[in-house]
A and B are shown apart, each in its own frame.
Chain A
Amino acid sequence: MIWEVFRQAKTGEYHTHCGNVHAPDREMAKQFAAIQHGRRKPTNSLWVVPRHEIGEIDAEDVSFGGTTDKSYRWATAYNTTGSDAREVVESEDEQATAEKQQGDD
């Protein structure tokens, strides 16, 4: 049985998919996940999810959009003057990180 593994690097961050393990039950899956996916990269928590429990919808089922250039949606697309409020900088950083992570795994 295949279990998909999701790793959270730090408290409060999202669990992101990082691979899978073969295991007969949940307990074994957790142990394998800890060994295979929790050792080398910073890990705060892991989720194991039976593959058959995951719902998938792909580009053949539905048109996702995202084919046009939507760079106007990102704070990083605008050059403004002077230092920004820290919450604006934070938001921009989060967007920049999300943009960088697109296509990972």
Chain B
Amino acid sequence: MIKARVTVTLKNGVLDPQGKAIEGALGTLGFAGVSGVRQGKVFDLEVEGEDKAKAEADIKAMCERLLANTVIENYSIAVN
């Protein structure tokens, strides 16, 4: 069994109203000097087999076809 983590983040230049709202709330809580807050997603996956290279290639295909919307999002894959 191979465990992997996929991190999906918004591309630079894509407006993130939720990140802006979170940034505003952090300011309200008194955390001064915080900027550039961007909200993303994390997926943890368990993939059958022992071939890490194959698992990574499969997960890349999953990212391209479903987990990320590559019009607006980037993704990174970490295989353990």
Real binding pair: no
Interface residues of A (CB under 8 A from B): none
